[in-house]
Structures are given as structure tokens and as C-alpha cells.
Chains A and B, each alone.
Chain A
Amino acid sequence: MRGAALVLAALVALAGCTEPPRGAAPATIVFKHAKILGPLDPIPGLLREFERRNPGVTVRSEPLTWTSDEQHQFYVINLDGATPAFDVLLLDLIWVPEFAQAGWLLDLSPWVTRGELAPHFPAAAAASVWNGRVWGLPWNMNVGVLYYRADLLAKYHLAPPRTWEELVEQAQRIRAGERDPKLDGVLWQGKQYEGLVVNVLEHFWASGTALLDEHDRVLPEPERAAAALGFMRGLLESGVSPAWVTAGDEELTRRPFGDGRAVFLRSWPYAMDLFEAAGSPVRGRVGIAPLPGHVAGAAGVGATGGFHLAVNRRTRHAEAAVALVRFLAGAEGQRAITAAGVALYPTRVDLYRDPAAVAAHPHMPRFHALALVARPRPVTPYYLMLSTTVQPEFSAALVGVKTPAQAVSYARRRLEYMLSGLR
């Protein structure tokens, strides 16, 4: 019976038809998702449209709290308890391999062909695939970018920096010229949390190394990793970054830059909407550039973040649930998140050239090139273990409690112990 359903579904998918079978029994599916922040929530409208197109299917949306840790905890407890209480879930892309490995997600491969992933940015699509199967579809995208004060750089005849070393030089020159003690050089996220790992990863990549290589070795080049951490520590020691960056998260660093009190900021696309909002002190004076590389390393590349849509393996309405996932991740579902007032960025490449989307967010084309080359964090089911293990070590290197070499060597030993219990 189940086999027949899968064959039927595969045939439907092959035929390129995105609609579920007509005349299916009435079903109510539950969609669990993070609360959407910002003035406009696109979800209710999308669900009503989906219901209109799928007579007999009702969708109930149940928002979760917005902190990522609480969402993870909710999903883990309920999915491990094999609950059928929700069908479709919105999840942070770093959890996709973890949940897939645990057997909590419905394998979407029978419905979703690789071709259906093609319209999405490669980094976003990569995060949906684990062990050769498709476990989710990307819904929104974040990419690490460098914001700079275009007016200040122009005043000193500078082009956006291509290396971190160049950035340091520019920041020092501008601060010396401005003689404003309240103007900081570069802000980034250095608090002991996931954001710190993202920032360190970007410096690793820019130095030509990684946290986890393609052979699943952790910190394969400890010297390069230590050098990258040493550079970040140097930003604090030289005063190019203020000392409080070691406690800074996205909002704590976004605000001072938005108040005109920093030359550079490493952040995500959502910040641009706030910089360009009416009444913003930096409106019209902010530029977007790729993250810098390192002189002796590689070109800079931003890490990706974002949410994916997946189906609970215990769902009683697989057809309707998969249809909802495909609708939300499809062209229309994602167009809705490009409306003015929504601070989410889609994963479908063509929307970054879409006239209506660009009218609502004029800077969208600038993110296009950056998202195209962006890189996902290690796609592995033990990513969270990796991250929580290295967070205190990276933080210790930044605040000078350990040398970068000590921090890297301790992180390696600890990770090897942790992972040895799993492999």
C-alpha cells in the first residue's frame, strides 16, 4: 500500500505536477514554525492560499518561541517521542542532517527531485541533502556580509577592503582622520554562542582551512586555525574592534553601526532593511561588500544560515504535508517573503532579480552575488556537538585566557573524544 503510494507519488513528481491528488480525504495538517519577527508575517496569507488550491486540506499554524535553543528542544523532545501532533516543521538548516540521521524526518526524495533544488542557491540546497537523500526544502536564507560606511570610505578615497589586513589599515586611517573616540573600526559577533562559531568559520575559510574537512577530520590544520583565531584576538588588542565585541551578538553589534558608530560591521542581510529604514542615522550611507579574505589565505566567503521546511516522519497526511512544503518553498511561497515589511530573504535565485522584490528591497541584487558563493557550515548530524564544544575554546582565545594554539589543541582533543563515542 505504502509502496504503491510512493510509486504514485514518484509518477506525479515525474510528471512535474506540484498538486496533490484531487479528491483526497479531508485533512488538517499542523505547521510548526518559529514566530516570524518584523512588521509583516507572510505565513497566514500563504496558508490560506494553499487551502484555496487544495480543497479539503486545512492548515493550522502553530508558532514556537523565537529563540533557536527552545525550538530545538521542542522538536527534539516531540520528535523523539514520535508525536504525530505536527506534520510540517520549519527548522534551522544546521538541524537538518541531525534530525534526518535520527530518523525523525520524512525522506522527501520520492517527491522532490534534485532538479527541484536547482532554483535555490547552492549553499541552501546543499543543506537540504544528507546521505544522498533530500530531507527538506530551503525557505529563507542568510549570508554573512560586510557592511561598510560608504560615505566614510569615499571621503578617504578607499574601495571596500578585499582582505582583513586591508580592512584594519582602512579602519585605522579613518579613525585617525575622524578623531572621533566614539567611532569603532569593525564590529562582529564574539559572544560565546553559535554566532561566534560562524564568525570564526568565516576567518578559517578566508585562511584556507576548515573546522571539519571532507574526510571528517576536525581542525585538520591546527596552525592555520590558530593563526585565524590569533588574527581575531589581534583585532581586539589593537582596538580596531572594541573589547565588548567579546560579548556581542547580532543586535548588540547591529545597533552601534546603525547609530553611525562603526566603520565596518559583519552581519546578515536583515540589518540592511533596518539601516535603510526611515529615520535611520546611516540611511543611504551603507555599502555591502563580500567578507574580506586573508592576505596569505583565500578569498572571503560568507557563511549561510536560514530555515528549511521538512515533514515529520510520523505524519498521517504525508501527501498534503509534502504539498505544503513544496508550495511554501516554491516560487510563489518565497515571493511572499520578499514583500515590503518582511525582513526575510528567499533562497530562490531568480527572486533577487524580480522587479517587485527589488522594489521592496532595493539592495537585493547586491546580496545575489554574495549568496551565490556563500558556504554552509559543516553539513553533519553532529554539527551542534562540534559547535558547543568549540565555543568556549574560541571564546577563551578571543579574551586571552588561552593562547590560540592552546584553544585549538584542546578543542581538537575534546572533539576527538566526543566523536569517538559516535563513530
Chain B
Amino acid sequence: MGEFIGLSIAGLSLGAIYAIAASGLVVTYTTSGVFNFAHGAVGMLMAFLYWQLRVQDHWSAPAALVLTLLVAAPALGLVLERGLISRLNVNDTGTMLIVTVAVMVALMGIAYVIWPPSIGRLLPMFFGPNGHVSVDGELVSYEELISIGLAIATALGLRLFFHNTRTGVAMRGVVDDRQLMAMNGRSPQVLNALSWMIGAGFGALAGILTASTYSLDVINLTLLILNAFAAAMLGRLRNLPLTFVGAVVLGLADAYVTGYVRLTGWLVELVPVLPTLFLFIVLLALPAVRLRAGRAAVSKAIHVPSAGASLRNGVVLVVVAALIAPFMHGIALGNVNEGAALGIGALSIVLLSGYGGQLSFAQYAFFGFGAWLFRVLGHGGNPWALLVAAGAGALIGALMALPALRLRGLELALSTLAFGTLAWYMFLSQPQIIGGGDVTIPRLHLPGLSLQNDRVNLVFLAVVFALLSAGVLAIRRSRFGRILVATRDSDTACATLGLNLRLTKVALFALASAIATFGGAIYGSTQMIVTNTDFEYVSSLFIVLIVYVWGISTPGGALAGGMSLALAPLVEVHIPVRFQALTYFMTGLGALTILATPEGIVPLVSERLRRLNPLIGLRSRHTRDMSVGNEQLLARVEVSRATPADA
């Protein structure tokens, strides 16, 4: 009995932390319409700040709490909302999500640089090591009771705020009708900012409680967002009471499974994926979301090269690879090979997100799956294994998408991250699959080619990338490609024209997953030695972020993204260890170029180049007029409207 009570209290206290974290997420989302991926990272940074004040600078606990919770966290929330979020279109879910991922990465960089992870840090318990009571022989720490108490206070406080204050009532209404709220004299801008300040405050509280009850760790605290999200999904990110129910169920499940179930074999890693499993059950049980009109995303047209142009670009790429390969050696040669392989896999992101407008944060699960399949099937580097990998990837991709298709883009994207987490813990990390140690994968064998030589392999990868890019561009120019872009711009309109959206999305996910898995097999064959850390689920966030920055709608963006990821370590070795994490910060900061060029850097540069080069410019002027809308064209439209006689 004592054990049961002890476990229940531990579970409730964990659930309480989830509930506090999730409350912040829900408050921000309900009012501002933005899912803040950096919510966990904000809490993480604030927990480190609290440690700094409390432990390093010897502040008293109340003073440190007041400064972090009531000053620093709301200030950070305010800066994020005013500086970034308010400049974005709230209907552009993809860009919005990516920007908050960028913030998350930047905040992680800040934490790593100021508080290097090489030093262990402990937060003292609020009431010292003896701060506990005994319940039926089980020790229950004050920490746990404080968390539970604070969660109850949060629930009551938010209830009162949202129902009994005018500002709170207005915040509930703001997402549904901004203009109406504006007419009532409540500025949506002020309410949005307020919701981010409150959200950050709860994130900070959850971060500090996690740090003092469990551990002060950048990754763990940042990923608290996943558990908070799982809890909040029960209330579809909007309903606070259901969010609390979800949080408590998660906390108790964690405690009871840890306490009562002896986990052996492949179930050893069950506890960390409990929130993910919970999320999947919730997603399956939720009613399908209905299509809404009036939410069409505004996206710019991006130049789509013709078949001739894409082949020409491919030839240039292969020639460049052949020219530089003989001069490369050692680690750099290996990393460029790796970058090319990642670029091939990243083409899946161009198709899925660039054209289809769907975000997936599970790409590395497919990379890992492909690498494993090539290991198992590619005896002697058998090239047929690549095709089997692509086919199997398509199947898994379709299965992953099926339950999630009833959801909005945001929910779908987040559930792919859940899928990636599950795949990493329950599949890729199993010792008989890839596991934590080195496993060897054969190099691809093609008759007549000595691909064992990394220089030859590099040229081969360039050929594969060029062909696959041409294929992806051919899809874009096809009927299916136009339909994909149409669903991205307005899925509601597509449905009213007779398109079966679910079928289209399943096909899209299947195709993109086939490319990702194929790319993973190529990656495995290129690396030849891999461990499960090569496919960590968090990496999926990074690759999508980086490809987004370079240009999500162009194969060039995929290649630049893959290269950035693979070549970053070459740069990092020249940076003092203390500041290596600045690459995180710079990545996050660099990602904010999205604000200026949502289409990405590659399309921007190639457009500039086309304009600079009079020869190319002349040739492509026609197509530019066709696809790229600009002020001049608009002016011309107006002029020709005014003079109908000229037709």
C-alpha cells in the first residue's frame, strides 16, 4: 500500500509538471494561434538562469524565483512575440513552426555556451535533502508536494483568469475573431504578447520544477515540450481541463510502469516513449478536423526549371564533383560524401514540405530504417536492396501518415515527431537493429565501378542526386505536382473541386518516405559504420530547419542542407571547445533569415544570378514573367485592364 501511495504521489507530481508546462503551451496557442516549439527551451534557459542565481550567485530561493518567473521569463516571451512571431502570418503554419524550432535551437546554443555541459550542475531541493515526509513508510519529498500544489494553483488561477477577468475572456476569444476583439477595445497585439509572457512564465516554472526534482540538462528540459504537447493534445491544444487530465494520466502511467512492470528485452525503453504512445492513442481517438475556408496560405511562386535546365544543372553538379574529388582526402572527403548522401535523403523534404506543404519531423527514422535495410539485404553491396528499401519506406510512410491524416498540418507535423521518437527508441536503438555500438554496412557495389574508393563514390552520389533531383522536378511539373502545390495553397479549394485529400496525402507521404529511406540506404552504404546516434530523432528537426533555410522548394536547398549538416563538424574543430555550441546559436539565428526570405537562400541567389547574367537573363525572362509575380507585372495588369482595346 505504501509503495502504491508513493508511486501515485511521484506520478502525480510528474503529471503536475507536465500540466504546468502544457498550460503555458495551451495559453499561448489559444490566444496567438502559434504552437511554440521553443516552449521547452524557454523553460530550460530559465531553469539554468535560476541555477545561476541560486547556486552560483547565492541568491535566496524566493528572490531567484521572482526574478526568473516574473521578470526574465515574461521578458523573453515578450521579446519573442514582438520581435519574431508578430511579424509572421499566423496562417502559415509551416513557417511559424520552423521559426519556433529555430528559436529552440538558438536557445539551446545560448545555454550550452553560458553553461557548458561538461560541468555537472545540481539544483538544491527547495527544502534541503531532509525535506520530505513519510507516508506509510515511503518518503515523499516536499518537491513532489510543491509541484502538485502548484499545478492545482495553476488550474484554479487559469480558470479564474479566463472566466472571471475581462482580459482573460478576451484572450479566449481572440483567436476566433480578431477583428471582433479589436472592436471591443482589446488589442489583439497586446493579448498575443500577454499570452506569450504567461506561456513563458509557466514554461519557466515547469523547467525549474523539473530541474530541481529530476535533473538540469539542456536536452531533457528542451524536450519537455514533447510530453507537454502529448498532454495538451487530449484537449486539442485548446482545452485546459482535458490538458490537466492528459498530464495526470501521463505522470501516473510513467510512475506505475516504472514501479510495477519489469521491462525486459525490447521494452526496456518503454518509459521514455509512454507520452508518444499516449499521443498516438489520443490521435486515433480524436474526431477528424474539418476543412476551413478563409485560411489559405499566401505563398510565392518559385521558378521551376524545365527538364532541359534540370538536366543541365545535374551535369554541372556531376562535373564539379568529378573536378574536386581528386583533390579531396581524409575527413573532409568523408564529410562531403556524407553531405551528398544526406542531400539525397533531404530531397524527400523538398517533395513533402516544399511542394506538398506537409511537415514531417521523422526523416531520420526513415534514414535509419534505410541504412538498416541495406545492412540486412545489401549483401556484397547488392544495389537491388536500394529499391527494396525505397518500397519498404513507401509502405511505412503511408502507414505513418494514415492515422494522422485526419489532423491539421500542425498536429500532423507534431505526430510525425512522435513517430520518429518511437522509431528511434523502440526500433533503431534495439541492439539487434542498430543499437548503441558501431555496426558495419556494406558499400554499394556496381559492376565496373570501384565505389569502395570514396572519390569515385562522391561522383556516383552526385549522379544519384542529379537524377533524383531531375525526377523530383519532373514530379513538380507533372499533374501530381500541380495538385500537390494546389493542396499546399488551399486544401479546402482542392476538396471542393473533387480531390480526395487523404488519398493525395498518403501518396505524398509514401513517395517522400520512399526517397528518405532510399537516401538512408545510400547514407548507410556511404558511412559504412553507423550507430543509433547517427539517426537520433532530434536530428529530424535540424535537417528540416536547415533545408527550410536554404530553400525548401528546390533540390539545391536539399543539397546545401545536407552539406551544412555534414560539414559543420569541419568548422567546429577550429572553434575552442567552450564556444563550439555557438554553431547551435548561429544555426538558430541564421534560420531567422526565413523572416526575410521565406523561400530560402538558394532561390534568392539563383534569382539574383539570373538577373546578373544577361545571357541567362534573356533566356529566362519569359519564364520569369510567367511564374514570378512582382510589382511590375501587377502594374502591367492594371494598365492592360484600363485599356481593353489593346487586345
Does A associate with B in a complex? Answer: no
Binding site for A on B (CB under 8 A): none
